[in-house]
Amino acid sequence: MNGIDEAGAVVRAALREQAAAQAPAEPLLVERVLTAHRRRARRRIGGVAAVVAAVVGLAFWSPLPGGSGSAPIRDRGPSTTEVAARPDQSPPRDVIEAGDVVMAGYVEQETTASGTSGRGELRRTYWLLDPDSQTYEKDERWSLVAVAPGGLQAAVLERELPVRRIGILDLRTREVERWIELDGDERQGIAGLAYSRDGGSLVATTYLKDPDSGVPVPVKEEGQDGMEVEVPFDSGRSGFWVVDVASGRGRWSAVETLTDPFLLNARQDFEFTHDGKAVRAGLVSDARSEFHDLDGLPIGPPEGEAHWEWSVEAGRSPDGSRMAGPFAGRTRETSSWILDARTGKKVAEVPGQQLLAWAGKDQLVAWDTAKDGGSEFGNRLVLVTVGSDRTVPLSGPRGDEADGGGRWQPIFVRR
């Protein structure tokens, strides 16, 4: 196996097991922890792991039938083909947008280890786009933020998770317009959020405890330089609410906890499937994903979902015919596959380490390194096109060190 093939294999494995903050996030921001990969490989994966672990899954591309109203949409002007790039800014100060998507904010994460237990506390700090000034402004009030399509509204959760209410935040005024109260028993506290494609509905994942408290962190075994202790995932996920944003009405469904402690992260949030008729989540140490109907019952993958990889943010193309795929690295040092959504066949290879969002029929936003090489940690946002080798830088590079500063993570939504 040559160097590129080996790197690709490590990335593909690591991408199934990385840590988050929201879904699509989608998205929803989900922590994708690398412990399962460490358990199997028993070696550090170094730079490759750090690159993929910094990318957070956000859920924002999935429609839910029956919603009574969609989120407000920004005035996108006469065309959605324009690009606002900030190749000299990292983190960005001014708006980044490309085609059909806008970077509605970004999040910075910090995990503080709790002694030598192999557990830690995760905290997020959000920088959200002001629709009027078109700049990113810091907001430290929330443990979790899901931005609605259009970038004018967001759903927010307060700091102490799990919570019993969801705030609907006006991104112009930075004020909570109203609270959606969801009463229930100890199983029904909310700690995860993801919008539907039209912004009319939310899926709110519930947990018995705070999934950001006690997350696995690397712990070296005494006398074993570079080795890390196996720490089982401890997921308290209990189910999900489906919430109509306009009316505030919600319905809760229980989901049976998986018995294998290495199949779920401490946080493993749900998001809607492409057709909005079910929910989905990844399995950390398994190539499969899990799907449930809106009553919480396990089902097989819906049509066109069997080849979805939860670690690839972009998901299906706007028309549903193609699927953003995993790391390829075949004809280029860094590239990713585009798949036929129905068959899983590889139909194209595009530049980019990690595909984040579809910006149009044939364009995607991705993380990638500079053409002149440079650090694999210093990746930047780029716009790529199916059938072309050309990339358009959208941001400056992030920090050059795996655990250094500048590891911001973007939140993309349709504009």
Q: What is the per-residue pLDDT for 33?
A: 32
Task: Give mean pLDDT, residues 226-237.
Answer: 67
**pLDDT class of 215 with cuts at 50, 70, 90:** confident
pTM above threshold 0.85: no
Q: Could you tell me the CA-to-CA distances from 196 to 200, 245, 321 in Å, in that order?
A: 6, 10, 19
Q: What is the per-residue pLDDT for 38?
A: 33
Average pLDDT over the chain reads: 80
Per the structure block, which two tokens stand in for 331? 């004809």
**pLDDT class of 150 with cuts at 50, 70, 90:** very high
| pLDDT at 309 exceeding the cut of 80 | yes
Grouping H, G, I as helix, E, B as strand and the rest as coil, residue 14 is helix
Q: What is the per-residue pLDDT for 329?
A: 85
Q: Which residue has the higher pLDDT, 357 or 265?
A: 357
Look at the block and give the residue holding tokens 């997020």: 124
| pLDDT at 119 exceeding the cut of 90 | no
Q: What is the per-residue pLDDT for 378?
A: 78
Let me know how long the chain is. Answer: 415
Contact yes or no for 395/96 (Cβ under 8 A): yes
Per the structure block, which two tokens stand in for 379? 């990746």
DSSP result, 249-268: -EEEEE-PPPS-TTSS-S--
Give the chain's largest Cα–Cα span.
63
Residues sharing a CB contact under 8 Å with residue 193, sequence separation 6 or more, in sequence order: 22, 23, 28, 144, 145, 146, 155, 157, 166, 202, 203, 204, 205, 269
**pLDDT class of 65 with cuts at 50, 70, 90:** very low
| pLDDT at 8 exceeding the cut of 50 | no
Crossing angle of the two packed helices 46-53 and 3-15, in degrees rounded to 10: 40
Cα 183 to Cα 411: distance, rounded to the nearest angstrom: 29
| pLDDT at 34 exceeding the cut of 70 | no
| pLDDT at 197 exceeding the cut of 70 | yes
| pLDDT at 3 exceeding the cut of 60 | no
Task: Give mean pLDDT, residues 71-84.
Answer: 63
| pLDDT at 388 exceeding the cut of 80 | yes
Q: What is the per-residue pLDDT for 262?
A: 80
Q: Which residue has the higher pLDDT, 225 or 92?
A: 92
Cα 349 to Cα 134: distance, rounded to the nearest angstrom: 33
Task: Give mean pLDDT, residues 49-60.
Answer: 30
The number of CA neighbours under 13 Å toward the Cβ of 309 is 28
**pLDDT class of 377 with cuts at 50, 70, 90:** low
